[in-house]
Amino acid sequence: MINLNTSIKKIPRIKANQIKALERLKINTWLDLLFHFPSRYEDFSQIKNIRDIEKGEKTSIEGKIIQAHTQRTWKKRMLITETLIEDKNGDTIKAIWFNQPFLKNSLQTGKNIRLSGKIYLNQKNELYFSAPDWELSQRRPTHTARLVPVYPTTENLTSRWIRWQIETIFKKGINLPEIIPLEIIQKFNLPERGKALKFIHFPQNIDQIKIAQKRFAFEEIFLLQIKSLQSRFFLSQKKASAFILKKSFYKKFLHSLSFSPTQAQEKAVQEIFKDLSQNVPMNRLLNGDVGAGKTLVAAMASLPVLINHHQVAIMAPTEVLAYQHFQSFQNFFQKFLFNIALITNSYKQVYYYQEKEIRSFSQGTRYQLLQQIKKGTINMIIGTHALLQKDVSFKNLSLVIIDEQHRFGVEQRAYLQKKHSTFSNGIHFLTMTATPIPRTLTMAFFGNLAVSVLDELPSKRRKIITKIVPNENRNKIYQFIRSKIKKGRQAFIILPLVEESSLLQKTKAVIQEHKRLTEKVFPDLNIGLLHGKLKPKEKEEIMKKFKENQYQILVSTSVVEVGIDVPNATIMIIEDAHRFGLSQLHQFRGRIGRGKYQSYCFLFSPQVSSRLKIMEKYNDGFKIAEKDLELRGPGQFLGQKQSGLPDVAMEGINNLKMISLAREEAEKLLKKDSSLKKYPLLKSALQKMGEQIHLE
């Protein structure tokens, strides 16, 4: 019996570059290796006669090597190993491998082997295998003649090597204790942990793979729900200052606006006010559609805290967005005596409402601004990660609003909570996202958060007309843009990348495209260029010129996704739209349609796909998000492995019923044993999850 906590460095005959490769995949122990699940399976389970195989199929054969030789080609200087295999019927087929010199000693004449791979046709009209997997016939199938697992790999690591190591672990014997209570396993007819691992790595059929995946999906979601419930309970034991806003002041604020909030905004605000009136820290997610007005909700949410002379901090993911918030809150509060500061690495400004002016602090007077924040002279502080720097201290920070919550880690939030709160004065948190989150993901990942939904757009906003445009109609769209610009409108042109990439050679580089449009398509127009490599001041200047219509067209990368609000911009072209997720396309589209004019979004794509047609059909961000989740799965939907969950669990998150059942069982378990004293292995698994999973 082996110890699964043994370091991978003790794997027999492991090389230094393989250790580094495993560490890149976050595999540090033999247990980690066992839980490195296949990304897919190749079905090579049927062994066929050579006479029955066909070009293009993936199959397995068994036979004897009757010829074998290795030679180096002169032209390409490539080492080629070629064998001729004869099966029991006397039929033969060639198999070829490239640059694998060690095969010369392994694949020798007279040996009986199995091959699994794809069948090709050469110039002589002969069928052959190209770089198939192989093993000796007397061996138990590991790489051939079964449902062969294909694993995520990296440089210096192959699926074949991983299969060898996992097989070794099983041969030596594993004792993998069950972490889920046995009664829950039995209730849902799930295989125990060790058995499920065998099904994952050595399945005999598809059904075994499915039941094992279901088991591990349930396990991760079950742990996630326990962690979520524990987090809620822990928060409920903390204390925070309660803030109540007089109705008369709230009405005064509403009268100061030039428009009326939507019903969804009003509902969300009342939910937030109720949370803030409690002596327990608020932990709420504002889940909004693009253009649904979450900034106004944030302003209204701040009122009870500001009017009671406590401080509010607003964290934005980019300097561009932080600066826009700074301007927005100035407008919202222009009739009220709140001092607002902007602090980022590039900007240090403060707006004194008593004096009705903006004062800019130079780089040399950062200390002066920080002293005012520390003394409480500044009521609202807006910034980026710069708010997390050690020299930033608050007098009585009581509400933190985090915009685009998925761009900030748990550690950053914990830092604010730890540094700026005491037991008697905890911090209220409101996290916001303009990416509508489907119900299943909300239940799975945000179960510890109360959720307010902004699913209603302001009544004056028109539906954006969206069309998929094949490349041959490009000039027609350019003519359309020119006609609208003559009437005073403006346009965005969005591209995926800043520079050419070997992986995306057909994707236009934004810099080259800007040059082409300027010189050949719209030589008489002013065209701005915006991308992530520009300095914040340069971005600000370009945006300012675009807002003032000094640029009629803005060519940009995805930095335009959040933070730019130009009501006069009514047209958007998205190049290579098929390379973006639907939710991201919806984010881009939300940059237009903010004024009184009809807006148009054109999706340039080499082909009209059913996926892109969803964008033509729907303007509802929540509907689009649900479709995006169905098509791409949770891992891709969240982006950048946001959750930390393994892929097999992420697939389970599509299953609303599974999430509900897992939460129900988690609630029952915690009612019986809130500290999990009777379940030490489960408790240990939760601690490990805490190191990997990112929950708000």
User: 354-376 pLDDT, tens per residue?
Assistant: 666 666 665 557 888 899 999 99
- For residue 538, the model assigns a pLDDT of 85
pLDDT surpasses 80 at 173: yes
pLDDT surpasses 70 at 643: no
Tell me how crowded residue 408 is: count the other CB atoms within 10 A of its CB: 21
pLDDT surpasses 80 at 184: yes
Average pLDDT over residues 657-676: 91
CA distance 361 to 357: 13
pLDDT surpasses 50 at 270: yes
Higher pLDDT, 68 or 337: 68
Please report which confidence band the pLDDT of residue 136 belongs to, taking 50, 70 and 90 as the band edges.
Answer: very high
- For residue 501, the model assigns a pLDDT of 47
The residue written with tokens 């293009």 in the block is: 56
- For residue 467, the model assigns a pLDDT of 96
Higher pLDDT, 204 or 172: 204
Average pLDDT over residues 220-230: 89
- Least confident piece of the model among 90-94, 123-127, 484-488, 531-535: 531-535
- For residue 310, the model assigns a pLDDT of 95
CA distance 329 to 497: 32
- For residue 692, the model assigns a pLDDT of 58
Tell me how crowded residue 207 is: count the other CB atoms within 10 A of its CB: 10
Q: Which long-range contacts (CB under 8 A, 24 or more apart) does 496-500 make?
A: 496/557, 496/558, 496/575, 496/576, 496/579, 496/580, 497/557, 498/531, 498/532, 498/533, 498/557
- For residue 507, the model assigns a pLDDT of 41
Pairing of strands 465-469, 600-604: parallel
pLDDT surpasses 50 at 78: yes
Please report which confidence band the pLDDT of residue 424 belongs to, taking 50, 70 and 90 as the band edges.
Answer: very low
- For residue 543, the model assigns a pLDDT of 83
Higher pLDDT, 655 or 683: 683
- For residue 362, the model assigns a pLDDT of 58
Domains identified in the chain and CATH numbers: 1-41+156-175 (no CATH), 46-145 (2.40.50.140), 247-277+293-433 (3.40.50.300), 465-618 (3.40.50.300)
CA distance 6 to 22: 14
Please report which confidence band the pLDDT of residue 591 belongs to, taking 50, 70 and 90 as the band edges.
Answer: confident
Average pLDDT over residues 456-460: 80
pLDDT surpasses 50 at 277: yes
Using alpha carbons, select from 294, 312, 316 the residue that is nearest to residue 304: 312
Q: What is the pLDDT of residues 601-618, one digit of tens each?
A: 999 998 888 889 999 999
The residue written with tokens 């003790």 in the block is: 10
Q: What percent of the chain has pLDDT over 90?
A: 55
pLDDT surpasses 50 at 696: no
- For residue 505, the model assigns a pLDDT of 38
- Tell me the β-bridge partners of 491: 553, 571
Please report which confidence band the pLDDT of residue 408 belongs to, taking 50, 70 and 90 as the band edges.
Answer: very low
Q: What is the pLDDT of residues 39-53, one digit of tens each?
A: 899 999 999 999 999
Segments in 25-128 forming alpha helices (H): 30-34, 103-106
- For residue 579, the model assigns a pLDDT of 84
- Give the contacts of 255 (CB within 8 A, at least 6 positions apart): none
CA distance 614 to 470: 16
Using alpha carbons, select from 119, 112, 160, 115 the residue that is nearest to residue 134: 115
Average pLDDT over residues 204-230: 91
- Least confident piece of the model among 114-128, 156-170, 641-655: 641-655
Using alpha carbons, select from 151, 172, 165 the residue that is nearest to residue 3: 172
In DSSP notation, 299-362 reads HHHHHHHHHTT-EEEEE-SSHHHHHHHHHHHHHHTTTS---EEEESSS-EEEEETTTTEEEEPP
pLDDT surpasses 90 at 91: yes
Please calculate the CA angle 183-189-191 and round it to the nearest 5 degrees: 90
Please report which confidence band the pLDDT of residue 633 belongs to, taking 50, 70 and 90 as the band edges.
Answer: low
- Least confident piece of the model among 190-194, 339-343, 638-642: 638-642
Average pLDDT over residues 292-297: 92
Higher pLDDT, 63 or 688: 63
Segments in 359-456 forming alpha helices (H): 366-375, 410-420, 439-445
Average pLDDT over residues 325-350: 88
Mean pLDDT of the chain: 86
- For residue 635, the model assigns a pLDDT of 58
- For residue 504, the model assigns a pLDDT of 41
Q: Let me know: does 445 contact 643? Beta carbons within 8 Å.
A: yes
pLDDT surpasses 50 at 423: no
Please report which confidence band the pLDDT of residue 76 belongs to, taking 50, 70 and 90 as the band edges.
Answer: low
Higher pLDDT, 350 or 506: 350
